[in-house]
Structure 1
């Protein structure tokens, strides 16, 4: 990938919810589409191994964002922050004490940056997986500053299943001789489903090799992430998944009545990471106290990763939101 120039904001003496203080946080970001202040602002939050490059060369949401796409860059300003410590184009901006940081802290940092950018209200905050969880946290921190909240393939609280898998990933990252590679190999199985892998490989041996195609595919993804990601970054991103909790000792009623945003909950029927059942439960509970909340479901064989694959279904869900 060609070297990209990132915009940067410095936040000093930032206090974490756990009590620690980060003396200096460099928050990098990219802006796409209309100039800041000239159009409604859409904030896109990236997932665990993602970054601020949401469109363009190597853009991970090119099928959803761009000119004449679902989120039309001729109509909107699209802003994407890098989660501090994700290492994107900057191996110096890392957070070594990763267990002191929570998703709440990342959401609070994003709001601090928006204050510096003189943004008072956001038209939409959208993200998948970890990015969606941060969107949730942002909406609860400033419940009247987001018009549309769109958390995709994520939930408002880390489940026991998710916390358990974060532990396994953390053990691999801290004990394996090849930690990023091996953790990624394990994680890829969580992001897909047995049906997805059978459809793709059908238990066949790779031609000219003595390993199964699925093994070759997993090893390829492990090597690919190893070549582009930093160990401290992976430890932080993985840890954040277990810290999701938007209620913060409040009742669901208190939280639901406070948020003024239109809330669009999007699940994936085969997601093992954030199950459709837990997202439906979230919808059912919120609907008791809030009218402008809706539930949508992507049907896919591909599991959690479907939010990066099923663009046509996602477009159908989102098109009414982003049609000004």
Structure 2
């Protein structure tokens, strides 16, 4: 297994806003050596990072569905996410940035790595929205993209949630902790919390309150305020069709990329109905499929319902890529039929 954080420096990087600044893009490569096997790009979620074999270990690794003995897995950190712990790499002018700029930065990083084609792109939540953005900017980059629990745009609901997050980050005495507590309420679902806690208490406090406090403290340990504000800003700026009169059909018209949308039926953030609308809009003219995970866990189900996601990804790999681990696919089928 390879890995290890590496950096690509992008001096005088020009933002869509017109601002110019030096940025650093960190990345990791796992599995086969670059340019010796099919390439899979994995875009991380809001509080994720390039260490994809750690936070998505049920899916990525040796003998996993994303088999690092067969594929080259590339993962970039969104600039300014703070994963490397370097203050110099944080981005403080977060309001100048949009998800378009991250797509542009990734494009330049891919050029440095001499990557002109990616067999499969995966991304959950903001990572999936970023796949749509990259597709609109580079129509010939991907063979297939799989946006999971994501959308090509920030809906009014997403913008509203991000607006409250920004207010908390700007005014709270514990900004990251309280913002994380608020975020957990729309990353999960009422059904999931009922199943998990059943109104149980620890002494006089509800366990759900302690759970929220725990998640707030844990995120504060590994995520800085500038990084959180930037990622929140990027999330609410998502719009892959911004240069195409809000038409995703027009935005990706020049591309032949296959699209495999994966939604979650209880997702209260990137709601499944929006993905269904996108599928209906594109299905007559595009090579596109729609998959829906059934879960009580809401948006975070893409990090919880591993068996369902494995089944979808196995089918995608088997149908879309010439090299795949048939034994893994057969094992999944055997488990389902048992």
CA contact (8 A) 1:39 1:77 kept: yes
Map Cα deviations across residues 82-124 of structure 1 (whole Å, 9 max, x no partner): 1110000223210101011111110111110010001110011
Change (3 A) 1:144 1:5: closer
SS of 1:19's equivalent in the other structure is coil
Aligned equivalent of 2:66 = 71
- Where has structure 1 moved over 4 Å in runs of 4 or more? none
Aligned length: 314
Aligned equivalent of 1:129 = 125
CA contact (8 A) 2:243 2:251 kept: no
TM-score (norm 1): 0.95
**Which of 206, 210, 214 is matched with 1:220 structurally?**
214
Residue correspondence of structure 1 range 1-324 to structure 2 within 5 A: 5-22=4-21, 24-55=22-53, 59-92=54-87, 93-206=89-202, 209-250=203-244, 251-290=247-286, 292-323=287-318, 324=323
For 2:86 and 2:296, the matched residues in 1 are separated by 36
Deviation at 1:315, TM superposition (A): 1.0
For 1:28 and 1:15, the matched residues in 2 are separated by 18
TM-score (norm 2): 0.91
Deviation at 1:5, TM superposition (A): 4.4
Map Cα deviations across residues 172-231 of structure 1 (whole Å, 9 max, x no partner): 00100000000001101110011100101000111xx32111011110000000111110
For 1:256 and 1:32, the matched residues in 2 are separated by 29
SS of 1:274's equivalent in the other structure is coil
SS of 1:321's equivalent in the other structure is helix
Structure number with the higher helix fraction is 2
SS of 1:163's equivalent in the other structure is helix
SS of 2:41's equivalent in the other structure is strand
For 2:57 and 2:159, the matched residues in 1 are separated by 31
For 1:126 and 1:139, the matched residues in 2 are separated by 12
Deviation at 1:12, TM superposition (A): 1.0
Aligned equivalent of 2:327 = none
Q: Unaligned stretches of 5+ in structure 2? A: 324-338
For 1:268 and 1:19, the matched residues in 2 are separated by 37
CA contact (8 A) 1:91 1:230 kept: no
Q: Unaligned stretches of 5+ in structure 1? A: none
For 1:249 and 1:54, the matched residues in 2 are separated by 31
